Amino acid sequence: MSLSFLAKKAWHTSNVKNVEKVWLAEQEHAKEEKRLAELKKQIEEERQIDELRELQRSNGLVAEPSAKVEWMYEGPGSALSEEYKLGREYKPTSAASVLEALESKEAAGSTLLSAAAGDANEQFSRLTQDPLYAMRAAHKTERDRHVLQNPLAMKRIKKSLADQLEELEDREKAKKAAKELKKAAKKAKKKKKKKKKTAADDKDEEEQEDDDGERSKWGLQKGERSTEPRELGPPKALLEAVLEREEAARARVPPKQKPKLSEADLERRREEMAADARAHQASRLTRMRDHRGSAVAECLEEDEAGKTKQKRQRRRQPEDAEDDDDEVDAPRFLRQVKSDVYGETGTIDLAESVQRTRNRHQKKRARAEDFF
């Protein structure tokens, strides 16, 4: 039985992805081994160089290096690192030994554990030994000296201080006044409330005295109250004051009356109105002639002439003719009612009209009886 299908499984060693992972891991391991070999080679070269330098210094072939600046570049553990390069075995120090060295005040930083470290002395040393602080203090002293010796600057400063003081006083006064006003308003409100309550109590007492236990809930009220008309309304003094005020107001405002026109003025105004109407009509006809043509204007002129002629004829006709014109101009439903009542010619008398109305009602009643 063939096992080639196992190559398709993710966990099989012959899978391409698994082979790739193994190859990458081997490459990383080879690179790490190469780096370690280079580091060992570099350390070995440095050790050999240090041994040669030490041998030259011991034989006097090379002068001792200056210790003025080189210690800054060597670091705190340069001696130990040199010993380690020469093959010294590393021995880790315990925490107890470090604490003992600090408590013995021989190691660096031992003063930090001392409770007697003076904060005041440290602050004083910072203030006195800091060059930047000394520069700022000198600058401030020089500036104050210039300001104090300048009268304009001193005057400006005094004015500013006086303004600030005055503003502060005004603010305090305003605050105090607002507080007093609030207190007075509260007191007045309380007094008004008390007065209102007292008036309500007095009114209740007066009503109770007026009732005297004889007022019934329904019907007429019994009591000793006056029924005079003058005592049922407002007080007499108040009424007189109101009347006087109204009289004074009427006296101040003049009456708006138009003067009556005479017959001549009326006739003159009628003529002016007629002239205005004729001018308006003429301007209207002119506009119509300009915009709509002469035909429309002629039609309008004919209509106006016909209307004027009809008006003149009506004025000349007697009252009977006016009645006929009114009948002609009457609405259609009025003419229909008149024809129903008096006939088409309008010569039916009252008796015949009543008889016709009676017959019509009888016919309607008969139709209703037949329907039911």
Per-residue pLDDT at 16 exceeds 80: yes
| 184, containing H or E segment | helix 151-211
Length of the chain, please?
A: 372
30, 33, 39, 45: CA torsion to nearest 10: -100
Q: What is the pLDDT of residue 34?
A: 94
- Cα distance between residue 163 and residue 168, in whole Å: 8
Which of 202-211, 225-234, 288-297 has the least mean pLDDT? 225-234
Per-residue pLDDT at 32 exceeds 90: yes
- Cα distance between residue 310 and residue 304, in whole Å: 10
Amino acid symbol at 174: A
Per-residue pLDDT at 174 exceeds 70: yes
Q: Which of 53, 71, 72 is nearest to 63 (CA)?
A: 53
Q: Provide CB contacts within 8 A for 214, sequence distance 6+.
A: 222, 223
Contact between residue 101 and residue 113 where contact means Cβ atoms under 8 Å apart: no
Mean pLDDT value across the chain: 75
- Cα distance between residue 69 and residue 76, in whole Å: 14
- Cα distance between residue 172 and residue 185, in whole Å: 20
Per-residue pLDDT at 318 exceeds 60: no
Contact between residue 235 and residue 248 where contact means Cβ atoms under 8 Å apart: no
Per-residue pLDDT at 29 exceeds 80: yes
Question: CA distances (Å), 244 to each of 240, 252, 254, 299, in order?
Answer: 6, 12, 17, 68
Contact between residue 285 and residue 301 where contact means Cβ atoms under 8 Å apart: yes
Q: What is the pLDDT of residue 372?
A: 54
- Cα distance between residue 58 and residue 83, in whole Å: 16
More confident residue, 265 or 329: 265
Domain-wise residue ranges, the chain:
9-63+72-88, 127-194, 331-372
Q: What is the pLDDT of residue 30?
A: 95
Mean pLDDT of 35-63: 88
Which range among 11-20, 114-123, 202-211, 274-283 has the greatest average pLDDT? 274-283
Question: b or e along 178-193 (b: 16 or more beta carbons within 10 Å of the residue's beta carbon)?
Answer: eeeeeeeeeeeeeeee
- Cα distance between residue 327 and residue 335, in whole Å: 7
Amino acid symbol at 337: V
| pLDDT band at 259; cut points 50, 70, 90 | low
- Cα distance between residue 289 and residue 32, in whole Å: 115
Q: What is the pLDDT of residue 43?
A: 92
| pLDDT band at 33; cut points 50, 70, 90 | very high
Which range among 78-92, 113-127, 136-150, 324-338 has the greatest average pLDDT? 136-150
DSSP assignment string, 234-260: S-HHHHHHHHHHHHHHHHHSPP--PPP
Per-residue pLDDT at 15 exceeds 70: yes
Q: What is the pLDDT of residue 21?
A: 92
Per-residue pLDDT at 144 exceeds 70: yes
Q: Which of 224, 198, 220 is nearest to 209 (CA)?
A: 224
Per-residue pLDDT at 220 exceeds 60: no
Helix, strand and coil percent figures for the chain, each rounded to 5: 75, 0, 25
Residue 94 per-residue DSSP state: P
Per-residue pLDDT at 350 exceeds 60: yes
Which range among 70-84, 121-135, 211-225, 337-351 has the greatest average pLDDT? 121-135
Mean pLDDT of 27-36: 94
Which of 104-113, 142-151, 196-205, 297-306 has the least mean pLDDT? 104-113
Percent of the chain exceeding pLDDT 90 equals 8
